[in-house]
Structure 1
Amino acid sequence: MPSHAPTSTSTDDPADPLARERAHLLGSRAALRAMREDAEALDIRDVTAGWVAAEVLQHQIELRIKALADLSHTPLFFGRLDYVLHDAGNRFYIGRRHVHDAEGDPMVVDWRAPVSQPFYRASRKDPQDVALRRRFGYTSGELTAYEDEHLTDPAEADTTSALLQTEIERPRVGPMRDIVATIQPEQDEIVRAGIGGTVCVQGAPGTGKTAVGLHRVAYLLFAHRERLARTGTLVIGPNASFLNYIEQVLPALGEIGIKQATVDDLVAHVPVGGRDTVAAGRIKGDARMAEVLRRAVRSGIRMPTEPVVVVRGSRRWRIPAYEIEELVREMMDRDIRYGAAREALPQRIAHAVLVRMEQSGEAPDDRVQDAVARNAAVKAAVKAVWPPVDPAKTVLRLLSDADFLAECADGILTEEERKEILWAKPARGLASARWSAADAVLVDEATDLVQRTHSLGHVVLDEAQDLSPMQYRAVGRRCSTGSATVLGDIAQGTTPWATATWEEALAHLGKPGAAVEELTRGFRVPRSVIAYASRLLPAIAPGLTEATSVRDSPGDFSVRAVPVDGLDAAVLDACRDALRHEGSVGLIAADARIPALAEALAAEGLACLAPGEETSAEARLTLVPATLAKGLEYDYVVLDEPAAVVDGEPDERTGLRRLYVALTRAVSGLAVVHAAPLPEQLSNLNAAADGEPGTAV
């Protein structure tokens, strides 16, 4: 696999392949500028019939202009495919977006197009009609090298791409970037999976599951743009810091305006200001609460005791109580949503009146039925038997009225469980209620029981392993008529209410039987780091396959035991050592240790950022609470006091999972600094297996 670096040959020399590729890059950038200028020059004043259509069209044009932006430090193309039929029509440059010349001929083909797929999947065993695959190397946006694979040449050795390895190991500065140039075959299969089904990706640290999910969104928008334009897409992450970290990936791929949210954002019906105990959080997150809420919402339904008498002109029409009861029971048995049933009941009563009118020789039409449905007697009857429900007030009553909770939870929750989740009744009702995050999810469930939640065409749910069953139900409502991509790692489940298996989680999501794909080949986490962290797997997720790393470099790794009174100083020294390297540095510590470390960093003049803030030449160090580390990556990580990370969680297993997350945030190097004893799973560093870390004390 020949690799070519720049030579002293003039870039104008047509015999120099690198010069020709640079010329094609310049031509492609010029063509992209022309495409953008054409979009900017569009005049729609005489095209649309009204101002609403004009506004919609203008918005679409503005999105198109944004999507055609030429990002100077982002390579316009990263590969080339020469098919076996080697002529001008069978050579394709593969890039982040489609670019065509003035005649409409492609200069760069979108990586999502079918003709681009062999760039990721072709091999010597299955060349897929590709004679040559060329990868390009860039430095600061300039094309500086290329590397060829002759897939049909049996004499060429099958070796790892040096440019691919360099791109994977490139230091990370700033937010997450796309991996479109380095997608691996097993990742590409997930990315290009059809929109019709839900896919769950169990991915070990560093296997690229988040990137796979984001690229899958980009692919689906390419392959099913009209459908998803109507139904919508959504990316759900664990917290705002994580969403800030990933927010540039889709725009870099030309996809503008994709909505992002956390689960808390989705269920923000009430202001959250309270906190639950661990036990209360577990109970409120349990799927059994769905039936408790269904009973609570329907608790006000009463069977009629009086007939309905409708007066129209000189005639009186009487519907007996037993007939209305039949209508009410029918809708209850059909389990129609509360609000929809309440809207339908007046029409059903009105229809019964119309039947009597017809039997008496009258010929009423739909207008008469609508008028009867609005009759005061009908409206009063409906209010009495099927009263309006306020979801938030219903949940508040459920959580603050012991008798009402006992009635609704009878046979579902034990007396001890009911006591655990019961509030003291707020003095001013809704106005003084201190809702917790779990309470907001209950309100969302109650809201859906009253009125159907809008469903999207596709939802990406990242770091899904931390969700409770009730949170899964909240997300599932947003894709009940669409599909989902579920991403996570059971070993990184750090909430007390996390589900034990993906099968259970998918059932709560409303997608039972969805395919579960496992990614175990790590591309970012060094071998020494993943081997060290994997010692925790038997204790935190014994059923998972241990991850491996394809990186040639084992990575920098050290474990430093220090005296208690020297811990802060040792941590600062480790940060200074890490800052001598290129790339981002993350100092991860137990949440309780963050204020002390922030003060120590400030005293030493070491500038630090908060998670999600963009690194720069002046500030490359981020101080990360362990509870916010999930999903983030740093070139070098300094881990402060592992025992404190474990002790910061409600139980040992959750603590060890949190520690596993913290250990696997490193891309190039990890330094563990501790004064307290390490967890026993990590304390024995005498193993001699290849790739095992060493110890520096």
Structure 2
Amino acid sequence: MSELVHPAHAGADSVSEQEFVDRAHARLDALRAEYRERQRATHASHGVGNAQGWTERDAIAAHLGEMAARLDHVEDRLVFGRLDMADTEVRYIGRASLPDEGGDPLLIDWRAPAAAPFYRATALDPQGVVRRRHLLTHGRQVVGLEDELLDASDKAGEHLDLQGEGALLAALGRAREGRMGDIVATIQAEQDRIIRADGDGLLVVQGGPGTGKTAVALHRAAYLLHARRERLERSGVLVVGPSRVFLRYIEKVLPSLGETGVVSLTVGDLVPGVRARGEEAVEVSRLKGRSAWVRLLARAVRTIVRIPEGDQVLQVWNRKVTLRREDVVRAVRKARRSGRPHNVAREAFALELMEVLATRLVVEAGDATSEAAVDGDDLSTWTQEVRDSIDARRTINLAWMPTSAMTLLERLWAKPGLLARLNDEVGSPFSRAELELLSRPRGSALTQADVPLLDELEELLGTTNVLEDQSARQRSRTHAAEVERAREAMESMNLGGGIVTAEMLARSATAADDLEPMSERAAKDRSWTYGHVVVDEAQDLGHMAWRALLRRCPSLSFTVVGDLDQARGESRPPSWKDALGPAARALAGEHVLSVSYRTPRTLTLLAEDVLARAGAPVLHPTTAVREVENCYRSLHVDGPGAPMAREKDPLWALAQEAVDRALARLDEAEGAGRGRIAVLVAGARAHAWDADTVGTSSLEDRVALLSATASKGLEFDSVVLVEPAEVLADGPGDLFVTLTRATHDLTVVHSRPLPAGMEEWSTE
């Protein structure tokens, strides 16, 4: 087991370690200053005297700036570990690799193979390590040391074998600050094996509350960015979370590990320009996640094409020409054989029919004896006449209308008859009752579960010509504006008449757009393919969401983390293979995190007991390493039961009282203003109390009012849970979530009877 350095040695050791920490920070400062100076010098240089040269200069300067920014992010707790090896080698472990003045290793990056024993060595398998030391720092000051002597004779008994136990428990006991911190100094062996696992295929990390699965996934992303730098810097890493508040909660972890080029999105943000802000019942979300939509949406797109019932006579210039039904059938068949999306294939369809009509007009005008003998010039002339004909354009458009994914999806939800007909045509995968749940008016806010369906339609439809034309016109206008700005700048500096023209300067400015960070370019591009994808709270994703994610990572390199016991709804997936749906084909391995580091033991046992009594026994129990005395209490008030506006609700007053008590406890234990509290509600009461139900709230406030769903993945020092019976009504998974968000204490306020098992655990 680990222990603090003996006081007799602490003074000398602290001085020695402080000297090393000072040296490492001095080297960090020097490297950072060097990068910034080189960046300034590069900006000041003229580069090669052409647009490409200036662009290359700017790219080099941007890279140097990025290197300096990475060093900015790793400054806090730069050095945190030391290994004394059996061969007398000493290795210092930190957040980044730093060379000394001669180029030799000074500080080893925690992700390097040489650092692995810091996380994996044990008394039974020391891996050449004699002593492992944790350096506890505040700013640039060493404030504590903790040593572990890896002696096989000092075998752990039945206690959990925790690496750096003192540092770990100190970190776990620290007050929350509204953002997740990294765990780089306290990674445990079972976590490290996952972090350093091979990046090929889909890796599942099953972990109950407090096991650190999110932190493990993020550190794994940082590790892969280090180990596969060249590949992943080009393609990037995508992190998918359950809500925007969750993404804000974790946003500082990867930068603190020196990685900034990561895209973070919810499923509702996967389609650029679309934000899912609506809500819906769990059963509706699950319906939208089913794989049956693959066939139904494909059918919906096919039905946009309308074959006329008979031949049609069209007016083209001063002539009449017949568009035969078989002409349309043949053109549709040919366009579909191309395999291109609907809006893209429409162009080939339209061109085919225009050529058919033009050929017929040439022959009927007597300019050719047969269709085979039509002259190219005549054909071109009459094709333009067909293109200009309102009659012909209308008829061709009606046969194969362009449309957008949003327009078609809104039609499906707003037209129950259309949806029912399509359902019948693909084998009726949905019941009539299920279809009724999907109906909603046009203009309703998109929900998270809508976006994968929208993405599927985007794939089936492709872009419309109208959009492409607008994009081209916009690019033309932008370039013209750049030329005008360049001309004015050259005139103001008397640069006219030289070898550099305004056009060249404008092209240089346009090329500079390519210097936009990869993460920003990727977030704007629906077709971007990532080198690796991290998915958190993955147990709640439907099959259609998995299809959207697989599209974005054809290499199938995924880290998937979640907890089947926290799945929403009345039922949960029995296994990860079932939960993954179409992504199960990429499953390369499954790891289970069995130790809960964050959640107090009492709350862990309470949550597991309540789920068992609710008929949903926990599939993956965990062993908690922490206990907090008096961490669970319940408060009862007589009330109407039905939710009402919070100002009139007696439960609101009781919840406020519980919050005030929690604030006082935190102020006394952690210091004034420190720590975070959440009030968690569910169902209609969440709306009556104006709680954040979709995860969009700020993390700056000390007290958050959230729905059970919006609290997923978050942690707080104290939690006030309101009417747990209402939470259970939304499913046992939601109740399991709310019972395990607290790192210190949980207070339940209620007017209705508590779910079975909760009353006897209370300490009040």
- Using the size of structure 1 for normalisation, the TM-score is 0.79
* Local SS of the residue matching 2:547: helix
Deviation at 1:467, TM superposition (A): 2.6
Partner in structure 2 of residue 603 of structure 1: none
Q: Which deviates more from structure 2 when the two are superposed, residues 227-236 or residues 581-590? A: 581-590
Letter in 2 for 1:631: G
Deviation at 1:303, TM superposition (A): 6.4
* Cα gap change, 1:274 to 1:46, in 2 (>3 Å): closer
**Cα deviation 1:494-533 (Å, max 9, x = unaligned):** 3579755421232244755342222121111111111111
Q: Is the 8 A contact 1:461 1:485 kept in 2?
A: yes
* Cα gap change, 1:536 to 1:290, in 2 (>3 Å): farther
Letter in 2 for 1:57: I
Q: Is the 8 A contact 1:567 1:675 kept in 2?
A: no
Distance 1:531 1:121 in 2: 29
**Cα deviation 1:401-445 (Å, max 9, x = unaligned):** 344323322123333333432345x5xxxxx56544444442222
| Structure 2 unaligned spans of 5+ | 313-322, 359-371, 463-525, 639-649
Partner in structure 2 of residue 291 of structure 1: 295
Partner in structure 2 of residue 82 of structure 1: 84
Following superposition of structure 1 onto structure 2, how do residues 178-197 of structure 1 map, counting pairs within 5 Å? 178-197=182-201
Report whether the alignment pairs 1:549 with 2:566: no
Distance 1:188 1:472 in 2: 27
* Local SS of the residue matching 2:206: strand
* Local SS of the residue matching 2:757: helix
Report whether the alignment pairs 1:446 with 2:457: yes
Question: Residue 232 of structure 1 is aligned with which of 213, 233, 236?
Answer: 236
Q: Which deviates more from structure 2 when the two are superposed, residues 249-258 or residues 61-70? A: 61-70
Partner in structure 2 of residue 311 of structure 1: none
* Local SS of the residue matching 1:30: helix
Q: Which deviates more from structure 2 when the two are superposed, residues 91-100 or residues 261-270? A: 261-270
Aligned residues: 638
* Local SS of the residue matching 1:628: coil
Partner in structure 1 of residue 744 of structure 2: 668
Question: Residue 567 of structure 1 is aligned with which of 654, 670, 683?
Answer: 654
Deviation at 1:122, TM superposition (A): 1.8
Report whether the alignment pairs 1:586 with 2:677: yes
Letter in 2 for 1:470: M
Partner in structure 2 of residue 696 of structure 1: 763
Q: Is the 8 A contact 1:469 1:499 kept in 2?
A: no
Q: Is the 8 A contact 1:6 1:18 kept in 2?
A: no
Distance 1:508 1:536 in 2: 33
Report whether the alignment pairs 1:198 with 2:202: yes
Distance 1:403 1:563 in 2: 48
Distance 1:5 1:82 in 2: 15
* Local SS of the residue matching 2:136: strand
* Cα gap change, 1:556 to 1:283, in 2 (>3 Å): same
**Cα deviation 1:52-74 (Å, max 9, x = unaligned):** 323333222222111011666x2
Deviation at 1:39, TM superposition (A): 0.3
Following superposition of structure 1 onto structure 2, how do residues 220-619 of structure 1 map, counting pairs within 5 Å? 220-267=224-271, 275-276=279-280, 280-301=284-305, 329=333, 332=336, 336-339=340-343, 341-342=345-346, 386-410=400-424, 411-412=427-428, 413-424=430-441, 426=442, 432=443, 434-451=445-462, 453-495=527-569, 501-509=575-583, 511-538=585-612, 539=614, 541-542=616-617, 544-551=619-626, 553-564=627-638, 567-568=654-655, 569=657, 572-582=660-670, 584-591=675-682, 612-614=698-700
Distance 1:70 1:283 in 2: 43
* Local SS of the residue matching 2:288: helix
Partner in structure 2 of residue 112 of structure 1: 111
Q: Is the 8 A contact 1:269 1:443 kept in 2?
A: no
* Cα gap change, 1:435 to 1:99, in 2 (>3 Å): closer
Deviation at 1:270, TM superposition (A): 5.2
Q: Is the 8 A contact 1:473 1:510 kept in 2?
A: no
Partner in structure 2 of residue 632 of structure 1: 714
Letter in 1 for 2:668: R
Q: Is the 8 A contact 1:135 1:146 kept in 2?
A: yes
Distance 1:469 1:497 in 2: 16
Report whether the alignment pairs 1:646 with 2:728: no
Letter in 1 for 2:408: T
Q: CA RMSD in A?
A: 4.2
* Cα gap change, 1:138 to 1:361, in 2 (>3 Å): same
**Cα deviation 1:353-402 (Å, max 9, x = unaligned):** 9xxxxxx999x9xxx9xx99x98879979867654332222222223334
* Cα gap change, 1:514 to 1:254, in 2 (>3 Å): same
Report whether the alignment pairs 1:52 with 2:133: no
Partner in structure 2 of residue 310 of structure 1: none
Partner in structure 2 of residue 691 of structure 1: none
Following superposition of structure 1 onto structure 2, how do residues 112-191 of structure 1 map, counting pairs within 5 Å? 112-139=111-138, 142-151=141-150, 153-158=151-156, 160=162, 161-174=164-177, 175-191=179-195
* Cα gap change, 1:279 to 1:114, in 2 (>3 Å): closer
* Cα gap change, 1:570 to 1:83, in 2 (>3 Å): closer
Letter in 1 for 2:122: S
**Cα deviation 1:73-103 (Å, max 9, x = unaligned):** x21111112333224xxx2111111112221
Q: Which deviates more from structure 2 when the two are superposed, residues 475-484 or residues 232-241? A: 475-484
The percent identity for this pair of structures is 34
Question: Residue 27 of structure 1 is aligned with which of 23, 45, 64?
Answer: 23
| Structure 1 unaligned spans of 5+ | 308-318, 354-359, 427-431, 600-609, 686-694
Deviation at 1:548, TM superposition (A): 1.0
Partner in structure 2 of residue 64 of structure 1: 67
* Local SS of the residue matching 2:665: helix
Letter in 1 for 2:414: S
Q: Which deviates more from structure 2 when the two are superposed, residues 531-540 or residues 18-27? A: 531-540
**Cα deviation 1:200-239 (Å, max 9, x = unaligned):** 2111000001001111111111111121122121212111
Deviation at 1:282, TM superposition (A): 3.8
Distance 2:558 2:18 in 1: 40
Deviation at 1:267, TM superposition (A): 3.5
Partner in structure 2 of residue 690 of structure 1: none
Letter in 1 for 2:679: I
Distance 2:95 2:353 in 1: 59
Deviation at 1:323, TM superposition (A): 9.7
* Cα gap change, 1:597 to 1:301, in 2 (>3 Å): closer
**Cα deviation 1:305-328 (Å, max 9, x = unaligned):** 999xxxxxxxxxxx9997996785
**Cα deviation 1:599-645 (Å, max 9, x = unaligned):** 9xxxxxxxxxx965247xxxx5444443322111123x23233xx24
Distance 1:532 1:665 in 2: 13
Q: Is the 8 A contact 1:297 1:391 kept in 2?
A: no
* Local SS of the residue matching 1:681: coil
**Cα deviation 1:234-275 (Å, max 9, x = unaligned):** 212111211111111111101124221222122365565655
Question: Residue 39 of structure 1 is aligned with which of 35, 39, 42?
Answer: 35
Distance 2:742 2:130 in 1: 38
Deviation at 1:278, TM superposition (A): 5.4
